[in-house]
Amino acid sequence: MSELLQFLLSGVTVGAVYALVALGFTIIYNASDVVNFAQGEFVMLGGMITVMAYTAGAPLPLAALAAVLATAALGVAMNKLAIEPARGAPVVSLVIITIGASIFIRGAAQLVFGKQIHTFPAFSGDDPIRILGATILPQSLWVIAGSVAVFVGLWLFFTRTLLGRAVLATSNNRLAAQLVGINTPFVMTLSFAMSAGIGALAGVLVTPITMTSYDVGLAFALKGFAAAMLGGMGNPKGALVGGFLLGVLEGLTAGYISSQYKDAAAFIVILAVLFFLPQGLFGRKSTDRV
């Protein structure tokens, strides 16, 4: 029993990170129909910039804030320099642009930060908390709380603020949104900033547990993408649930089947979802007008 609980707890912790990455995917996907493969690099940058600022002497909260803001700025730059000039290009081109951008960011990170593995201290110490015979790190609680807080924040933003509704309107119908006076380019900018900032936050929260290096982004992108697919692409609630489900599945696979194949869980999920449930758990059935 305590063994099962332990696997569940570690699954929920990684699941929270996947949920954050999946939320980032969802925001950009909704605003622009672009699947942003560079999402994982935002996670890497969040961790790396915090490490850099912290070792330079900044207090940890300030370093974390700087990392989130700097990554958000980078997300905006990516939108302005790479996505916006290619507006109207076929989906293949946009996918390749985001993959190209992710390789570029990884290459740049390797030059700036080097190839070593980095970390910084956990926010509230390293003494594990005991729950019913299982243990959880205080940092895991930070990660879980972080992803739930981001989700609630996004929900309030999208339902209670005018700006949030403008974003939703744009994702529904770009042209119609433009016609009623919504500044759609600004909505795109905002979406990239939020998405990158959330990715960076995931990196800040998880780095004390998993550590970070210049090449961790790809794995986060693929897992977060799987989570978003599982929940139903474009649905924030789906992203949250998909992330946690995927994490738990991975935790159980690692515990009971094989830790070597724990990463396989995500990709078997992708295939199973596509075979049996192409709209994901929370996706709507799409209909097309010809």
Partner 1 sequence: MRLTPKSATLLALVVLIALAPVFFPSGFYYRVGALIFVNALAVTGIVILTGWAGQISLGHAGFAGIGAYACALAPVHWGIHPALAVLLGAAVSAVLAWLVGRPILRLKGYYLAVASLGMGILISMVLNNERELTRGPDGIEVPELGLRAVLKDAGLDLSNGQFWYFFCGIVLILGAWLALNLRDSATGRALRALHGSEVAARTVGMDVAKLKLQAFVISAVYASVSGSLLALQNKFITPDVAGFMHSVEMVTMAVLGGVGSVAGAIFGAAVLTLLPQVLTVFAEYEQLVLGLVMVLVMIFLREGVVPSILRKIRGSGE
- One of 30, 71, 102, 170 touching partner 1 (CB under 8 A): 102
| Closest distance to partner 1 from the beta carbon of 125 (Å) | 35
- One of 34, 229, 239, 246 touching partner 1 (CB under 8 A): 229
| Closest distance to partner 1 from the beta carbon of 100 (Å) | 3
Q: Total residues contacting partner 1 (rule CB under 8 A)?
A: 43
Distances (CA, A) of 92 to 28, 30, 157, 176: 16, 17, 31, 25
The piece of 21-29, 88-96, 195-203, 204-212 that touches partner 1 (CB under 8 A) is 88-96
Distances (CA, A) of 240 to 24, 186, 228: 11, 26, 8
30: amino acid identity, one letter: N
131 three-class SS: strand
Q: What is the pattern of x (binds partner 1, CB under 8 A) and - over residues 237-276?
A: -----------------------xx-xx-xxx-xx--xx-
| Closest distance to partner 1 from the beta carbon of 216 (Å) | 14
CA 245 – CA 208 distance, rounded (Å)? 23
CA 145 – CA 100 distance, rounded (Å)? 33
The piece of 24-32, 100-108, 183-191, 194-202 that touches partner 1 (CB under 8 A) is 100-108
The counts of H helices and E strands in the chain are 11, 2
176: amino acid identity, one letter: A
Q: Are 205 and 139 in contact (CB under 8 A)?
A: yes
| Closest distance to partner 1 from the beta carbon of 89 (Å) | 6
> Is 100 among the residues that bind partner 1 (CB under 8 A)?
yes
> Is 95 among the residues that bind partner 1 (CB under 8 A)?
yes
Q: Are 204 and 68 in contact (CB under 8 A)?
A: yes
> Is 116 among the residues that bind partner 1 (CB under 8 A)?
no
Q: Is 272 exposed, middle or buried (0-12, 13-18, 19+ CB in 10 A)?
A: exposed
> Is 225 among the residues that bind partner 1 (CB under 8 A)?
yes
Binding stretches for partner 1 (CB under 8 A): 82, 85-86, 89, 91-97, 99-108, 110-111, 218, 222, 225-226, 229, 260-261, 263-264, 266-268, 270-271, 274-275, 278, 286, 288, 290
